[in-house]
Structure 1
C-alpha cells in the first residue's frame, strides 16, 4: 500500500473540511449563537491534523485500488469524526457518541437523528447538519479528486470506490472533468431547488437548508415535524420533484446538456425508476382512498410525496404513515430497500441492480424451455458481463446477511425484531427514518451507545456500498496480496 499518498490525501480532505466549516462559523458569529466555540475548535483541529498529514510524501504518485478503498473508508470516518466536534462542543448532544452519530448520519446522507428538538438548535449547527448532507450526497471525495491531478496524483480508483452503483464509468475522458461536470449538475439542481422553494414563501435560510438535504437525499429538517410543518401543497410538490430528480443517475443530465434526449429516455434504469414511482403512487393512493384515509386528491398527494421520499431514500415525511394500511406501508418498505438510481445521490440497493437481477431471472426462465438459447443480459444498450452479474448477486446477498445479523445484534438491547429491523433498514439503507416515522427520533435518542455506534457503522457501510468498507479489513489487502 502507498501509505504516503493515502495519508496525504486524507490530510487534504481534512483541510477541505476546515474550509467547509467556515460558513457555519460565520452564521454562528452573525447570530451570536452558542456554537461559535464548537466551530472554532473543529476548524482548528481539522487544520492542525490536516496540515500534519499533508507533510507525508511519496515518490509513487499513482493510487491503486487498495489505496482508493483505504482513502474512501478512512476519509469518510475522519470527516465524520471531525464533523462531530462542533456538535459536541456546542453542547447539543449528551456525549461524543451522539455527536458522531449525528455527524456520520449527515455525511452519509442518512438523516437519522438523536436530537429531539431541532427547532431549538443554534443556526450554525442547523446549517452544518444540512450542509453535511450536501457535502456527502455527491461525495466530498469526488470533489477532492478534481484537485488531485494538480498534485500529480491519479484519482480514478477513488472515484470507482466512492461512486454509488454497480455500473460506473467516467462521463469525460479525464476524471477531473468528470468530477467538475457532476458538481455543476449538482450545484445547478440545488440552486433551482432553492429558487422554487423561495417562490413558495419559504425563507432564504430554510430554502437553502432544505435544498441541501433534498438534493443530497439526506432528510435532515429544520422543523420537528419535518415537511409536515409546512401546510403547503406547492412546497411538498417542489420537494417531491427534486427528491425524484436527485434519485436519477447524474450522467443522464449530461446527456440532456449534450442534446442527447434519446439517450436519456432510452435508459432502462430511468424507465424502471419512473415506472416504480408511477406504480407506487397509484397503488398507495388507491389503497389509502378505499381505506378511508382522506379523499382521492389527498390520497394521491400523500402517496406521491412519501413514495418519492422512500424511493429516493431521502426520508422526509409529512405524517405518521405507520398508521397507514399494511399494503401501503409494505410498498414503502420495499421502495426503501430498492432505493434510487446508480450514479445518483440516493442510496439503497439501487434500481440498476434490481433491473439486472430480474433480467437474469428472466434469462433463467427462458433457458428452461430453450436450453441452447443465447440470451445476453443488456443494460443501457451494453452487455452486462458475468463478473458484474456476480458482483450484483454478491452485493445483494451481503446486504441481506448484514441486515439479518445487525437486526439480531440490536435486538439484544431488548428491542423487538420489528423495531430492530426498522432501525437497521433506516441506517443500512441510508433512509434515516425509524419505526416511529414522521420525524420521530426518540427511538435513536434512547438507544445504548454501543447500538448507536453499530448503527453509525451501518450508515457508513450502506453509503460506501458495503465492499468498499469490508475490503479494508481483509488481512490480504494490507499484505498487498489482493
Structure 2
C-alpha cells in the first residue's frame, strides 16, 4: 500500500506537463493498493514474531513483489511492451543500479520518468526500513528486517530501538535529498530536473532525465554539487548523522570513512594527469571530470560527464576496477563496500606478522574495536562468493553470445549496482541490445548485489527450509 502511495507524485507531474501518462499511473496505483489492502487484511492477525529466518524471507520476497508491481506503470503506459524490459528497468531502479534499456530518455512521458527516479529513491535505504520506521502499527521490532536489509556487513545503531534508528536514517536521507534538489535548482536545472536528479543522486542510482546524463549540464556548480552529494550518499549514514549532531570525534574515529575519502582523493589526483594529457581541455576540467567519474563509480551512482573508455586502455582498466570498490557500509551505495576491503587488507597485512611471530596474539581492529574471527570469516566468504559469481556470471553471458569485455562489464556493473561499465555497456551506451533471458539474468544479479548476496542465496540452501 505504501509502494502504491509513492506512485502518486508522478501523477501530479503527468497532469502538469500534460504528458498523457496519468491514467497509466493511476491504474498501477489502484491495482497495487488493492492487492496490498487484501494482503494486509488477510495476514494482519497472523503471528508477527519475526525471527531472522522470516526476516530474510520477507526482505527477499518484498523486493521481488515490489519489482513486479513497480513495472506496471511502464507496461500500462506502453513505455515498454516486453516483460524483460519492464522488469529490468524496475529492478535497476529499486536496486539503484542505474542500468537502463531506454534508448531515448527525453521523449519518455514525464510522469513515468519521475516514477523511474522515485524507484531509485525508494530503494536507496530500503522500503523495509521505511515501513518499520513509519508503520509501528505492524507491531514488530524490526531488528531482523533491518539486519537483512542493511547495505553492509554491520548495522551501527544510532538508537537502541531499531524503529528510532530507521527514522533518523530517513530524516538524514530526506534532508540531504531536499538540500541537493535546492542546489541543483539554484545551479540552473529546471524544478523537474532538479527533483529527479536529487532523488537519484542521494540513492546513488544514476538515473537521469537527459540522454547525456550529467554531461548535459556543463555548469561546474552543478557537477561539483553532484560530486558532493554522491560522496555523502556513499558515506555511512551513521557517520553523517554524527557529523550533523556535532559528534565529530565519532566521524574521525571511522577507519572506513578515512579510507573511503583517501582512496577517492588519491585516485582523482593520480588519474587527472593522464586524462589531462589525453584530452583537449584545461586541468580544472580534467580534474573535475576525473573526480566526478571516480566518485560516481566508487559510490556506484553511475552518472557520467565524460566517456572514460575513450582514453588510454590502461585508464579504462583502472576505471573498470573502481566498479569493485563500492561505498561505505550503511550507505545507499552498492558494491563490495570499503569496510570489507579494509578488513581484508588489514588482515592480510597482519598475516605476515603472524607468520614471523606464530605465537603472538595479533588482533585485527577497525575503529579501535577488535574484529572477531566470525566477522573476518564472513567477510572472506563474501569476497570469495562475490568473485565466484562475477566469474560464473561472465561465463553465462559469454555463452549467451556476448563478447568477453561486454560480459565482464555487464556482470560487474549489475552485481555491483553501478550502471556504466566497459565493452558495449560503457558510459555512453545502454542495455537495450541484450536478449530477454540476458536481461532477466542481469536483473537477478542486481538483486543479489543489492541484498548483499546472502539474503537471496540463503533461500537456495536446504538449511533455510528445514524445520527448527
TM over 0.5: yes
Question: Is 1:61–1:154's contact at 8 Å kept on the other side of the alignment?
Answer: no
Contact 2:409/2:425, CA 8 A, preserved across alignment:
no
Q: Which residue of 2 aligns with 1:24?
A: 10
Alignment of 1:152-163 (within 5 A): 152-163=139-150
1:108 and 1:460 in contact (8 A); partners too: yes
Give the aligned partner of residue 305 of structure 2: 318
Q: Which residue of 1 aligns with 2:114?
A: 127
Corresponding residue to 1:347 among 331, 334, 351: 334
- CA distances 1:292-316 after superposition (whole Å, capped 9, x unpaired): 5533222211111101101110011
Cα 1:272–1:293 change in 2 (3 A) is farther
TM-score under structure 2 normalisation? 0.97
TM norm structure 1: 0.94
Distance in 1 separating the partners of 2:178 and 2:23: 30
For 1:32 and 1:465, locate their aligned partners in 2 and report how far apart those are by CA, in whole Å: 40
What are the equivalent positions in structure 2 for 1:217-232 lying under 5 Å apart? 217-232=204-219
Corresponding position of 2:282:
295
Query: What is the match of residue 191 of structure 1?
Result: 178
1:387-441 superposed Cα distances (whole Å, 9 cap, x missing partner): 1100101111111111111111111221111110100111110001143466534
**C-alpha spacing 1:253/1:292, structure 2 compared with 1 (3 Å):** closer
Q: CA RMSD in A?
A: 1.5
For 1:276-287, list aligned pairs within 5 A. 276-287=263-274
1:37 aligns with: 23
The reply to whether residue 474 of structure 1 matches residue 467 of structure 2 is no
> Partners of 2:201 and 2:276 in 1: how far apart?
28
Conserved 8 A contact 1:317-1:437? no
Structure 1 residue corresponding to 2:389, chosen from 402, 425, 440: 402
8 Å Cα contact 2:128/2:146 also seen in 1: yes
Spell out the pairing of 1:77-156 with structure 2 (5 A cutoff): 77-156=64-143
How many angstroms apart in 2 are the aligned matches of 1:95 and 1:245?
A: 36
Q: Give 2:36's aligned residue.
A: 50
Shift of 1:366: 0.7
Q: Are 1:255 and 1:264, in contact at CA under 8 Å, matched by a contact in 2?
A: yes
Are 1:212 and 2:183 an aligned pair? no
The answer (yes or no) to whether the contact 1:196–1:238 under 8 Å persists in 2 is yes
Deviation per residue, 1:309-348 (Å, 9 max, x gap): 0111001101211111233223322221011000000111
Partner of 2:375: 388
Aligned: 1:440 with 2:428: yes
**Runs of 5+ consecutive residues of structure 2 not aligned to the other structure:** none
* Secondary structure, aligned partner of 2:3: helix
Q: Say which SS state the counterpart of residue 337 (structure 1) adopts.
A: coil
| Count of aligned pairs | 466
Deviation at 1:58, TM superposition (A): 4.7
Encode CA deviations 1:336-390: one digit per residue, 9 max, x unaligned: 1011000000111000000000111011011122112211111112111111100
The structural deviation recorded for 1:17 is 0.6
CA distance in 1, matches of 2:359, 2:373: 18
SS of 1:345 mapped into structure 2: coil
Counterparts of 2:2 and 2:118, CA distance in 1? 14
Q: Contact 2:156–2:238 at 8 Å: present in 1 too?
A: no
What's the counterpart of residue 177 of structure 1?
164
Confirm or deny: 8 A CA contact 2:413 2:421 kept in the other structure: yes
Give the unaligned 5+ runs of structure 1.
Answer: 1-14
Match of 1:363 in 2: 350
CA distance in 2, matches of 1:28, 1:201: 22
User: 1:248–1:341: 8 Å Cα contact kept in structure 2?
Assistant: yes
Q: Matched residues in 2 for 1:250 and 1:327: separation?
A: 34
Kept in 2, the 8 Å contact 1:288–1:294? The answer is: no
Superposition deviation, residue 258 in structure 1: 3.3
The answer to whether the 8 A contact 2:320-2:421 is kept is no
Tell me the alpha carbon deviations over residues 80-102 of structure 1, each in whole angstroms, 9 at most, x when there is no partner: 11010001111111312201110
Contact kept in structure 2, 1:65 and 1:157, CA below 8 Å: yes
C-alpha separation in 2, matches of 1:150 and 1:377: 42
CA gap 1:59/1:108 in 2 versus in 1, 3 angstroms: closer
Aligned to 2:293: 306
